[in-house]
Every structure is written in structure tokens, then in C-alpha cells.
Amino acid sequence: MVTINPSRCLIGEIVILVRFYKLVVLLVLISGCNDQRQSSSLNEVLDSGVLKVGTSYGLTTYYNGATGPVGFEYELAEGFAEYLGVKLEVFPYYTLNELFPQLQNQHLDLIAAGISVSPLRSKKFKFGPAYQRVSEKLVFKQGKVWPRDISSLNGNLVVTTGSSHSESLNNYQAQNEQLSWQETDEKDVEELLELVLSEELDYTIVDSNILALMRRRYPELAIGFSVSPEQDIAWAVNKEQDDSLLAAVIEYFGLIQSNGVLAALEDKYFGHLRQFNYVDTVEFIKAANHVLPEYKAWFQTYAGDLDWRLLAAMSYQESHWDPDAVSVTGVRGMMMLTLDTAKYLGIESRLDPEQSIKGGGAYLSDLLRRIPDRIEFPDRLWFAIAAYNVGLGHLEDARVLAERQGANPDMWVDVKIRLLQLRQKKYYKTTKYGYARGNEAVIYVDNIRRYYDTLVWLDEQQPETPPRAIQLEEASQAPLSESIE
């Protein structure tokens, strides 16, 4: 996948803002500092030309992808470094117990690791503005006895050492002396979830945003109950230092919140994962293991410059990889091409799987070329996929509505809201192409993004390791569709 750099939207403002912050630092030192000899934490970063950021390895924080470092926290930190006009140095750690002392000893400038602002942590660190909210979920394996509250736990519970989960359990223990659990530095949250799946562990606790990602891989992960109410996620800075760096963090988040960069990044990593459907996820993984191999070579051949797994994800959304699929509207085949589109692309038989995949790949590439050049990836890609479903005309109507309403017509996070408005008369009567089922296009893009994420993960597993067997157990103990907040 092509990554988006949040700082690109800020290039024109960096130089002015850095100069502004240098002036702010001087004012702080002159008027607000009790110890005149104390150096400014922000000036130290600016003078050294390096921002040292501590983080943890993980799906939502930082990891090395095929094209280099990626992750929600990494991209936020990269944007902040460019905002200050300095170089970013990332120091990833395997455990929070290793990470926190580095900030206390001033070996790091800040921590960007998706950490929650708990009462205990607030006594030790200062925190920037909240940019996400998550809740802690007690997780067990689908098909086991459903634990509905803390008193119904009957088995081994393990959480990571130094986590907010441990803090929450300590709070519970004050009212429930029988509560017991273990803490580990040897396993991270993802590994603990895998132990739950293999039935080596009965329960663990995980933040809702991480769980949303993991359930696309392991649909048997089930939620027992919320261990905590929603908590703020924020960056941490050293409590003993002055507030100049913290002030810069606050200003940075204020800027990326107002210009839409934060919303775009949040949508990139989490926007398509709000809803979870157990049956759909299980069926997709089964099909990926048993049906997709028959057509994989054609997806690879006809994807062109695109990732073949994206084209395969689109095909599953269109037809569930059924070459004989036919809809009530007359679209047919693996890629559900209309008759007019097939003629335009030179496709003779829409029901021939190879021709359909070839046509679908060519049509998506054609749509991408027709999206304005100024729109960057991945937004450009989501626009093209939406147009595949709803048409370029209706997509353009949604972009016009976004611009009229003061939103960004070049960002998917803003345009998808206006696609929903194309079903409302007060909006669509003002557009060129009129009414459209824009909500279906939004769902269409979200589903494809989820399928794509799962295919990437499946494809990246070790070749010698057979696909993980999916146990089709009845989902009577949990809703088939639910939202993770």
C-alpha cells in the first residue's frame, strides 16, 4: 500500500510556525519560567535538529513495512518532526516498562505509543491533547463460556506488565479480593491474543482499536465486557521539564485537527474497522484459503500497477469470487461489469473469469487516471474504488458538496460524508447528477479495505506455514455485527 504523509499538508506553514515557536520560547523563558537557568525543552530539540520519539512495536504504533517504517503513531510523529523542521529519530521498544524510564531519564523527548491517560500515569507524566479514545475489552475465545463481568472470570487472565490494563485490574481488586491475574514482559498484546485463540490462555485485555484490527485476522476473538470506560489516548512528555515542547505538541494537534490531516490519518488506519461481522469475516478467510488460489494468477496478471490483493478484494466484494454471479441490475461476473463497461473495455464474455478480472483491473486503472492529479494516495485510490461503485459523476457531486460546505474535496474522510448526503433531497437536488445510493459506495469502500487488509496479512504469513484452520463455531454467544468503540 502507498502511505500518506500527514506533513505534506503542512509544508507551506512549517517555516513560519518554527519561527513563531522560537518567539514563544523566548517569551516563556522571560515571563513564565521560575528557574532562569532551566533550558527550554523545545529549544533543545530545535537546536539539536532532532526529535527523539519513543514508541512500541505494534500494528497501530510502529513497524517496518515493505516500504519502510509505518504505523499511525509513526506518521503522526513524522508530521510533528517536519512541523518543527527537525529530523525524526524513532526508538521502538518491546515493552512499556522499557519505554517509560527512557522518558523519565530524558533520553527521549516524548512518547508516541498509543498510550492511555490513566490516573497513575498522569502523576508521572504530562500529556498532550487526546487524539483518540479507546476502551479496554476483556477478550475470550468464541465458543467458550461468555464472561459477562469481572466476577464471572474462571480461568487464567494475563496482561502485559506496565499496561493500563494492569492498573484497571488493580482498581477492580479493591472491590473483589478474589480477582487474580498474571503480568508478562515476555509477550505483547498480539501474542496474548494468539494464546487465547490456541486455548493456552483463557482471557486477556486489549484496547478496542487494536482489537478491531486483530479480529479481521482472527474472527474467533470475542468480547466479554468492557473493563474500563473510554480513555483518552495522548502523547506523553517529561513532567520535570518546562512546557515549551508540550505547547508545540498542543499547537501541532490543533493544526492537524483543524486542517483535516488527523481525521484522514485516523480514517486510514481505523475508519474501515468500526464494524465487525463474525460470519462475514469467517467466510472471507475460508474463501481466501480455498477459492482465491484458483484465480490468484489472473489477479496478479491484470492488476497492472496496483496491488493484486486490492483487485482480489474488490472482486470478493462484487461477487464473492463467483464467476457466474448476476445481480438484479444486470451486472455480471467476477468483477460485476455492466454491459456498457464490458463493451467499452472490449470484454466479450462477462461470465468468463479471466476476461472479467482483466476488465475490472483495466476499468479501475482507467478510473484512477481520471481522478484529479492533485489528489494523493490513498485518498485517490478510495475515490477510484467509490467511482467503480457509484460512478464518477456522483463522486464529483459529492466532492462539489464537500467544497460548498467548507470541507476538503480532495480527502476521502470528508467526501464520504457527502456521498451519504446524495440520498437526501435537499442536497441531491442541487447536484448535477442527482440522487445516488452514496451510502452503498461508502460501505463498498470500507468492505474492500477490510478484505484487502486481511489478504495482505494472509499473504505475508510464512510460506511453509499452512493457513490457519478456521473453526466454524456457532456465534450464538455474541452479536454477528457490532461496533468497537
Would you write out the chain's pLDDT as a tens digit for each of its 485 residues?
A: 333 344 444 433 443 444 444 444 444 443 444 444 357 999 999 999 999 999 998 878 998 876 788 899 999 999 999 999 999 999 999 888 889 999 999 999 999 999 999 888 999 999 999 999 999 999 999 999 999 999 899 999 999 988 889 889 988 887 888 899 999 988 888 889 999 999 999 999 999 988 988 888 899 999 999 998 899 999 999 999 999 999 999 999 999 999 989 988 988 888 777 777 888 888 999 999 999 999 999 999 999 999 999 999 999 999 999 999 988 778 899 999 999 999 999 999 999 999 999 999 999 999 999 999 999 999 999 999 999 999 999 999 999 999 999 999 999 999 999 999 999 999 999 999 999 999 999 999 999 999 999 999 898 874 544 433 344 334 434 444 454 44
pLDDT at 132: 93
Q: How far is CA 448 from CA 274, 317, 353, in A?
A: 14, 6, 19
Q: Around 149, how many Cα atoms within 13 Å sit in the side-chain half-sphere?
A: 3
* Residue 137 β-bridge partners: 206, 226
CA angle 207, 208, 214 (to 5 degrees): 95
Q: In 3-state terms, what secondary structure has residue 176?
A: coil
* Residue 152 β-bridge partners: none
DSSP letter for 107, please. Answer: S
* Residue 46 β-bridge partners: none
Q: In 3-state terms, what secondary structure has residue 300?
A: helix
- The strands making up 136-141's β-sheet, listed across from edge to edge, are 204-207, 136-141, 221-226
Catalytic residues: 318
pLDDT at 475: 40
How many whole angstroms from its chain centre is CA 87?
25
Amino acid of residue 226:
S
- CA–CA separation, 389 and 395 (whole Å): 10
pLDDT at 158: 96
- CA–CA separation, 129 and 125 (whole Å): 13
Amino acid of residue 402:
A
Q: How far is CA 91 from CA 53, 60, 450, in A?
A: 6, 15, 30
